[in-house]
Chain A
């Protein structure tokens, strides 16, 4: 049985009201989203700004209430939970946010940040909390002596480690990672991605990984759901999706990513036009305004998300008529032999060094 089952999730936000308080306009942030997630696996939700991926992650935790649909976690119906039961559920599902500068209380020391969930859920007797905090810090690669410091004394990557430690404090089964590395520098990004994978292997965590960066998703996800304007347009195993994306939107996203490979020869499917507003999404297929393969049917009829035998689901009327995806896919030869050797030597040498990110630096203003 799946750890999390989401069925027909809908969330419309009121965007404008009449003089008498009647809702006049709705943003259809999430409009019928279904997926399931196995324990210990990673599902990535991918799409552009405003596609509803973050709203889905908040709905799953019931941080906001859905208008329709069902949520089942570990066999329980989440939407019928009362306040107490909901608090218990929150022990099992946690979230890490994008901005580690905004998600930690600046007036609390790291020890206080990490003790709060332990006390709230009464998980560890007060006498042993200090030891548990030290253990959590070690788990995310920070030195226990840093527990007395305040968030402003840490760099972005270290703060994200603290946010991860806070999520792990309650020993959850599911962590929602909402763009956890988007605000970090490239070298720090790889440290956090490696940490998330290592923790998943060790603790059997399931992740919902919300991201707009397909290269990151390829590195971390088992399954990928591509969202466009509140709907899933394609869902498949990650290897499957990256080897053969079917929906024109997934293909466009994939081909838009610049490759760190000069002279890379590949056709591009650069989308023309703007992302339509979720306030007034196009009729029919919501991608039809930007789709290069649009036909009349797409403008009127909403395509169903149809699953094939291999579990690859696509919502496109023309899925069987589209040209093969090979042309837009990047050539596999990413590293030159010299670079591959150099990177291998670089990694080998640093492995024996101290655990990553344990130092501390004084907070300095950065220039970018």
Chain B
């Protein structure tokens, strides 16, 4: 990674206080950084904390129930200490986000043009006429056919793939430096997913924005990301350049994930399974959080939480048994 990353998260902890007084540890001691122009994949299963992390970056977590500590430095600014007014200026402008559900993230009572123009006017100002021209230009960039006509349509007229394009156009409206895409293709058919992924690659090459892509689909990660961070039970358990992660994973959870997906390029009689359950995050286990499900577990694993250790200069793993190759040779 380059010397000065665009966004640098250090020791981020997020706890939710429930109505019944229960405290859930959603994210623990998370360190991440993304350089300008790089794409980081954030991978993990439901409840691992990947979406909460992205909402924390955007400053969208509820203040009453979420307790956040640590630092999120974006271009020299600590987002966690930034006043709301400044955050509102950043969001949609230099920080943008695309959500999973294109069906619910557009306002049904305004045309798509109105919604894109609103973003442009809020952050860039200027005349409505020029904002409209820019909106048409954006719709063209995300390959919406006849954008001059489409701009005056309401979201319900558009298909799922089209709506996701509109969401992307809106996110790009002010040329963001950081784009967070939370499962942007999960609700779409594979053929549309391929179109959207191609579009994202294209835009990344053209704009040079940093992208954090949140997904559970390892295939999507392999196609668009430069670096991958795997999350489990609120922690990053492994972080590596995409090639290394897929060829020589260094955390047993990653091995299990890679072995459990049915693949077109590999025939397995029996898929690997990760037995057991995710730990209850109201009382996280004392040692390694994956220990109860890990086939390589040792006595020491259950005693103290393992630190993130470097296996190679660019590859870190939260497993005391890494490098794992030594276990199978």
Contact = CB atoms under 8 A, between A and B. Distances in A.
A224 B223 CA distance: 26
A359 B246 contact: no
A216 B262 contact: yes
Interface in B278-311: 278, 280-281, 295-296
B197 A258 contact: yes
A256 B260 contact: no
Contact of B278 (A261, A350, A361, A368): A361
A320 interface: no
A330 B265 contact: yes
Interface stretch (A19-27, A87-95, A269-277): A269-277
B194 A186 contact: no
A350 B264 CA distance: 24
A271 B301 CA distance: 49
B268 A219 contact: yes
Interface stretch (A32-40, A99-107, A165-173, A335-343): A335-343
Interface in A120-172: 155
B183 interface: yes
B159 interface: yes
Interface in B185-199: 189-191, 193-195, 197-198
Contacts of A331: 265
A8 interface: no
Given A190-B271, A190-B273, A256-B190, A339 B46 contact: no
Contact of B275 (A261, A344, A353): A353
Contacts of A193: 262, 271
B321 to A, nearest CB: 11
A348 B327 CA distance: 13
A364 B26 CA distance: 11
B194 A270 contact: yes
Nearest to A345: B328
Contacts of A268: 194, 198
A262 B47 contact: no
Contact of A343 (B262, B272, B275, B276): B272
B263 A190 contact: no
Contacts of B195: 270-272
A253 B256 contact: no
Contact of A48 (B191, B258, B264): B191
Contact of B264 (A254, A336, A343): A254
B17 to A, nearest CB: 13
Interface string A172-200: 00000000000001110111011000000
A185 B272 contact: no
A332 interface: yes
Given A338-B247, A368-B51, A346 B252 contact: yes
A185 B261 CA distance: 10
Interface string B238-276: 000011001111001001111111111111101111111
B159 A48 contact: no
B13 interface: no
A334 B261 contact: no
Residue from A186, A252, A271 whose CB has the most chain B CB atoms within 10 Å: A186
A215 B197 contact: no
Interface in B166-221: 183, 189-191, 193-195, 197-198, 216-221
Specify the main secondary structure of chain A where it touches its partner: loop
Q: Contact size class for B? A: 35 or more
B90 interface: no
Given A187-B273, A260-B222, A334-B265, A364 B328 contact: no
Nearest to A273: B145
B222 A259 contact: yes
Interface string B305-329: 0000000000000000000110111
A176 to B, nearest CB: 20
A122 B292 CA distance: 43
Nearest to A329: B264
Given A185-B216, A252-B191, A331-B265, A342 B255 contact: yes
B217 A270 contact: no
A347 interface: yes
Contacts of A344: 328
B162 interface: yes
B189 A48 contact: yes
A214 interface: yes
Nearest to B323: A338
B273 A194 contact: yes
Nearest to A330: B265
A129 to B, nearest CB: 29
A256 B46 contact: no
A262 B240 CA distance: 13
Contacts of A202: none
Interface in A277-331: 330-331
A193 B268 CA distance: 12
Contact of B46 (A212, A263, A349, A366): A366
B34 to A, nearest CB: 18
B260 A263 contact: no
Given A194-B270, A336-B247, A215 B262 contact: yes
Contacts of B257: 186-187
Contacts of B263: 215, 259-260, 334
B117 to A, nearest CB: 24
A173 B218 CA distance: 35
A256 to B, nearest CB: 4
A214 B256 CA distance: 21
Contact of B277 (A258, A338, A359): A359
Q: Which residue of B52, B183, B275 has the most chain A CB atoms within 10 A of its CB atom?
A: B275
6 contacts: A193-B271, A254-B264, A270-B191, A270-B198, A332-B265, A364-B281
Q: Name the 6 nearest CB pairs between A and B, nearest first.
A: A349-B295, A334-B266, A258-B219, A343-B259, A190-B260, A190-B271
